[in-house]
Chains A and B, each alone.
Chain A
């Protein structure tokens, strides 16, 4: 039997729901050296700010049993360089629409980055990061207050006709309150979850491993929490949800879809295994057959009964 892996995210069709997550796939070409990345549904590019950013001091990476922590802090070459250099380079290795992940430290910055990236022909969706836990005075501070989340959503909404996804933080008491605020402000979809704020301590130095002190946890250890939040948000709002957090296998993708996700992002798994996304895409039809799924579209939210 033919297995249909297609899904539609905010009106744009994806060959499959597998999308490498922002910050875990660069601008694509490191992976394009290894395999044809056109097998992916799409991908979310490195979070882009208006000006170039180096990010946080080193060390920026730590590990835990269930995954890793990062405190990169939005290193990127800035919106102008992304438009002038990164996207044209990417065009040579990826021919599908991408999610342009944007970030900022003020409403004006979010708006300005959106204005620069949204007109690029490769950009299919804007993914507005209001949830980076590794920068101060921006990022997550917009994603933990419903009014600020709504303000960022409205600011980006006003400057583009392309679908706007807002990427939510799990570091909140009630993620559905933020989700509703974004929905009411005009979001077309929601991505969740960004990383969870965590830390590790170096026993020899008796200091945090990460120079930033704290960092964002990702990897399989956060999957059940992410799944629970996707479940809650998909019930709370009538918007497509892009589920992420520890997804590492075709079975995880199916679980996310059953919880209510329309598409799924894969983050940390790409760093431990550069072929992770390719292998998940290849394994999807096999897993669908095992669980009696003819079309992925049909199972979105299926676990809600």
Chain B
């Protein structure tokens, strides 16, 4: 964990209520895809945890959804503004567990951390494929970014306005074989994906957080191996730990 003041390079909408936030600053505390940062927003008491979409030396990319007043305020921050963040938080995806052909399953604003994961996996010579689900075409994000990594994408929309009409579980039926599943999205989706996949898996969970770094126990969940703090031992937990 590290406290860093980033500078906003750009902060623009890429789909309905979804923003692409590019930051410059020290991202060295981020060690794995699936980790998150916790942003301090003036006028709001608690920080806002946002998953890392992509990062590199001296830069960070976050893709977030406007959910409430905090993220609405964030969406109005201009380029050049400073942003106080705690970075490198949580436990991300474990790459060695993914095998040679992992399947990445993302729903809605759960898709962004899977892009960083796809980038790390392809850099290691793995061959991931992705099933990305959205409510509707107007909310679909990052499909071109996956394509740019040459990661095959099965796009699903609940209303059929883009790609396959259906949920990510329907998209999973189209994927021939896979070594492992890495998923991020709403809890109902994660449960359904976990029930469907015959392989091992890693699932990124979400919860309202107090501190985001393990001090307050506000975001704890029960697992087969005892209580876990989603901000510290999570957000990515292994399938066999989950009580689903």
Q: For the complex formed, measure the closest distance between the CB of B123 and the CB atoms of chain A, giving whole angstroms.
A: 28
User: B208 contacts A62, CB within 8 Å?
Assistant: yes
- Identify B216's interface contact among A54, A58, A70, A220, CB under 8 A: A70
Partner of B215, one of A59, A61, A209, A271: A271
Partner of B47, one of A55, A75, A270, A272: A272
* Chain A CB within 10 A, most for which of B40, B211, B227, B232: B211
Determine if B166 is an interface residue (Cβ-Cβ < 8 Å): no
Q: Closest approach, in angstroms, between the C-beta of B12 and any C-beta of chain A?
A: 26
Residue ID in chain A nearest B220 by CB atoms: A75
Contacts of B232 in A (CB 8 A): 30
Q: Give Cα A60 to B218, complex, Å.
A: 6
Q: Mark B36-47 against chain A: 1 for CB-CB distance below 8 A, else 0.
A: 000010001111
Taking a contact as CB atoms under 8 Å apart, the answer to whether B208 and A60 are in contact is yes
B86 touches which one: A58, A209, A219, A274 (CB < 8 A)?
A274
B181 interface hit (Cβ, 8 Å)? no
Contact A33 B216, beta carbon cutoff 8 Å: no
| Contact assessment for A275 and B215 in the assembled complex, using a CB-CB cutoff below 8 Å | no
Interface centre among B3, B210, B211, by most A CB within 10 Å? B210
User: For window 37-82 of chain A, which residues contact chain B by CB distance below 8 Å?
Assistant: 46, 54-55, 58-68, 70, 72, 75
Residues in chain B near residue A220, CB distance under 8 A: 45
* Contact A55 B217, beta carbon cutoff 8 Å: yes
Is B219 an interface residue when CB atoms closer than 8 A count as contact? yes
Residue of B with least CB distance to A54: B227
Chain A nearest CB: distance from B103 CB in Å?
28
Identify which of residues 197-244 in chain B touch chain A, using a CB-to-CB cut-off of 8 Å. 207-211, 213-222, 227, 232
**Interface residue? B150 (CB, 8 A):** no
Nearest opposing residue in chain A for B2, CB measure: A34
Do the beta carbons of A30 and B213 come within 8 Å of each other?
yes
Q: What A residues does B3 contact at CB under 8 A? A: 34, 274-275
Interface residues of A in 192-233 (CB under 8 A from B): 209, 219-220
Label chain B's interface by main secondary structure.
loop
Chain-B contact segment, one of A18-26, A163-171, A296-304: A18-26
A75 to B208, CA, bound (A): 16
B15 at interface by CB-CB < 8 Å:
no
A272: B residues at CB distance < 8 A = 40, 45-47, 211
Determine whether the beta carbon of B45 is less than 8 Å from that of A63.
yes
Evaluate whether A274 and B211 lie within 8 angstroms (CB atoms) in the complex, with A65-B45, A75-B227 already known: yes
Which A residues touch B47, using CB under 8 A? Answer: 272
**Is A4 in the interface zone, CB < 8 Å from B?**
no
Q: Does A105 contact B (CB under 8 A)?
A: no
A298: shortest Cβ distance to chain B, in Å? Answer: 33
In the complex, chain B residues whose CB is within 8 Å of the CB of A209? 208
Whether the Cβ atoms of B215 and A26 lie closer than 8 Å is yes
CB-defined contacts of B40 to chain A, threshold 8 Å = 272-273
Q: Do B210 and A61 touch (CB < 8 A)? A: yes
User: Is B73 positioned at the interface, with any CB of A under 8 Å from its CB?
Assistant: no
Closest to A267 in B: B216
Q: List B contacts of A59 (CB < 8 A).
A: 207-208
Nearest CB on B from A279, distance (A): 11
By a CB distance below 8 angstroms, the chain B residues around A62 are: 208
Q: How far is the CA of A219 from the CA of B1 in the complex (A)?
A: 23
The chain A residue with its CB closest to the CB of B211 is A271
Residue of B nearest to A58 (CB): B207
Bound Cα distance from A26 to B214, whole angstroms:
7
Q: A274: which B residues are within 8 A, CB to CB?
A: 1, 3, 86, 211, 213, 215
Extra inter-chain contacts (16) besides given A60-B220, A61-B219, CB under 8 Å: A23-B217, A26-B217, A46-B217, A58-B220, A59-B207, A61-B209, A61-B216, A61-B218, A63-B46, A67-B45, A75-B217, A271-B46, A271-B216, A272-B40, A273-B40, A274-B213
Subset of 6 A-B contacts with CB under 8 Å: A23-B216, A54-B227, A63-B46, A64-B45, A75-B220, A268-B45
